[in-house]
Amino acid sequence: MSEPVIEVRDLVRKFGNRTVLNGISFTVEKGDTMIIMGGSGCGKSTLLRHIIGSMKPTSGSIRIFGEEITTMPQRDLERLRLRFGMNFQFGALLQSLTVGENVALPLIENSRVDPEIVDLVVKMKLELVGLTGFEHLKPSEISGGMRKRVGLARAVALDPELLFSDEPTSGLDPIMTAVIDQLTLDLTRKLDMTAVVVTHDMVSAFRIGTKMIMLGTGPNQGKIIAAGTPDEIRNSDVPEVQQFINGLPDGPTPLKLAREDYIDRLLDSGEEP
What residues make contact with another protein under the rule CB under 8 A? Answer: 49, 52, 54, 78-79, 81-82, 86, 88-90, 92-95, 105-106, 109-110, 154
CB of 86 to another protein, least distance (A): 4
Give the distance from CA 132 to its chain's centroid. Answer: 25
Helix/strand/coil for 8: strand
Q: Which is nearer to another protein, 140 or 269 (CB)?
A: 140
d(C-alpha 269, C-alpha 222), whole Å: 26
User: What proportions of the chain, in percent to the nearest 5, are helix, strand and coil?
Assistant: 40, 25, 40
The nearer residue to another protein, 37 or 158, going by C-beta atoms, is 158
Q: Using CA atoms, how far apart are residues 114 and 29, in angstroms rounded to an integer? A: 34
* Minimum CB–partner distance for residue 67 and another protein (Å): 15
> Could you tell me the smallest distance in angstroms from the CB atom of residue 141 to another protein?
16
- Choice between 52 and 233, CB closer to another protein: 52
71 class by beta-carbon count within 10 Å (0-12 exposed, 13-18 middle, 19+ buried)? exposed
Between 80 and 227, whose beta carbon lies closer to another protein?
80
Q: Least CB distance from residue 201 to another protein, whole Å?
A: 20
